[in-house]
Amino acid sequence: MTGPIVVNVALGARSYDIVIGRGLLASLGTRIKALRPDAKVAIITDATVANNHLADTEAALRAAKVLSARIIVPPGEGSKNYATFEKVCDALLAERIERGDLVLALGGGVIGDLAGFASASVRRGLDFVQVPTTLLAQVDSSVGGKTGINSPHGKNLVGAFHQPVLVVADSALLDTLPQREFRAGYAEVAKYGLLGDAAFFGWLEENWRDVFAGGPSRDNAIAVCCRGKAGIVARDERETGERALLNLGHTFGHAFEAAAGFSSRLLHGEAVALGMVCAFRFSARKGLIGQDQAERAIRHLAAVGLPTKLKDVPGGLPNVDALMDLIGQDKKVKRGRLTFILVRGIGEAFIAPDVDPAEVRAFLQDQL
């Protein structure tokens, strides 16, 4: 039997490992003990993940004689708000979590973002470990140190860059995910191929069924995504340049997600899939990419069951004015000018600053 795959995120003194493989949760206590011998661990998770994985997580820590406390929040994007953030911070203080202790984010992207931001804030900075339990978190949100909460003005607008000290991606934890959640996470897997790795996208077209089934392709896909992201983060930690490419599909997608009220009507990965469809269609409309290439990308997203039409969103989306208002809140906007991640081909994304809002409005009007 082969051991886990280890991907290093090279950030000098703040470098850390992403450990990927099946059945890694059992080794969590040993890994934490080696990292921080005397640390107490505060586990932040949500009620759904707690039902599936909290007992095993606590048992792994107990086996290594690591003391732990638990902080459980409601599941879903709705927990990424000021009120829950305040409760989590106060709970960490009530548990007397000190500077030398660790916060452990056990959950999907919502928990990672919330726990990471609380870690960055409490006592002016606690170290934290990510144990991502969704595909989306394992390939994307648990890596790279972006943490934060949502505001009524938009997604992830309040937060901090705060790197974890370890990421343990146990791919067996994904077996408990509902199919819709796994599929939504797969949108971020496809994103890595579409933005910068045409060979990987071709591999996904051949192997996506095995990724879904939990075969060897699953660990390989997670590792390829993590290597891709680790390289970009090491070169551009605070998103002053190249890292913005990781937002392929996100400028449109975040607007769709906000328009759907950050609800189960449209999961984050589903919004990203729709956003990537729009990025490819908009690029084709501008003559940057051939229609056949754009349709190939969209065809793959449709094949795995992801939404590819704006009218697929249950309950519909608001009018183009409301969507343009939400796009205007995107973090890549500079002095009111829109920046999009567009494509010149599969695996050839680029940053397009100063996109004409009138063009985007006309495009969205057609899509609606």
Q: Give the 3-state secondary structure of 150-182.
A: EECCEEEEEEEECCCCEEEEEHHHHHHCCHHHH
127, two tokens: 């170290």
- CA proximity to 143, closest of 168, 126, 175: 168
Residue type, position 125, single letter: G
- Is residue 133 predicted with pLDDT exceeding 80? yes
Q: Is 146 among the residues known to form the active site?
A: yes
Give CA–CA dist 128/75, Å, rounded: 20
Weakest-pLDDT range from 70-84, 145-159, 253-267, 328-342: 328-342
Q: Is 53 among the residues known to form the active site?
A: no
Out of 3.20.19.10, 3.40.50.720, 3.40.50.2300, 3.40.50.1970, which CATH number does the structure's domain 5-176 have? 3.40.50.1970
Give CA–CA dist 233/10, Å, rounded: 8
Q: Which of 53, 80, 227, 229 is catalytic?
A: 229
What pLDDT, in 10s, does the model give residues 187-202?
999 999 999 999 999 9
Q: Is 361 among the residues known to form the active site?
A: no
Return the CATH class of domain 179-367.
mainly alpha
Establish whether domains 5-176 and 179-367 are of one fold: no
Q: Which of 36, 53, 80, 146 is catalytic?
A: 146
Q: Which of 53, 268, 300, 331 is catalytic?
A: 268
* Residue boundaries of the structural domains of the chain: 5-176, 179-367
Predicted pLDDT of residue 240: 86
Contact by Cβ (8 Å): 266, 256: yes
Q: Which of 80, 162, 254, 300 is catalytic?
A: 254
Q: Is 229 among the residues known to form the active site?
A: yes
Q: Which of 227, 247, 300, 331 is catalytic?
A: 247
Q: Which of 53, 183, 250, 300 is catalytic?
A: 250
pTM of the model: 0.91
At a CB cut-off of 8 Å and minimum separation 6, what does 232 contact?
242, 243, 245, 246
Q: How many CB atoms lie within 10 A of CB 333?
A: 13
Q: Which of 124, 206, 311, 335 is catalytic?
A: 124
φ, ψ for residue 103, nearest 5 deg = -100, 140
- Is residue 1 predicted with pLDDT exceeding 60? no
At a CB cut-off of 8 Å and minimum separation 6, what does 218 contact?
171, 174, 210, 211, 212
At a CB cut-off of 8 Å and minimum separation 6, what does 303 contact?
208
Contact by Cβ (8 Å): 113, 160: no
Mean pLDDT of 290-311: 97
Q: Which of 53, 155, 243, 281 is catalytic?
A: 243
Predicted pLDDT of residue 161: 95
Antiparallel, parallel or unpaired: β 41-46 and 102-107: parallel
Q: Which of 58, 77, 181, 188 is catalytic?
A: 188
Residue type, position 76, single letter: G
φ, ψ for residue 17, nearest 5 deg = -100, 145
What pLDDT, in 10s, does the model give residues 242-274?
999 999 999 999 999 989 988 889 999 999 999
Give CA–CA dist 320/259, Å, rounded: 11
φ, ψ for residue 108, nearest 5 deg = -90, -160
Contact by Cβ (8 Å): 75, 114: no
Q: Is 52 among the residues known to form the active site?
A: no
- CA proximity to 282, closest of 357, 343, 197, 191: 343
Predicted pLDDT of residue 318: 87
Q: Is 237 among the residues known to form the active site?
A: no
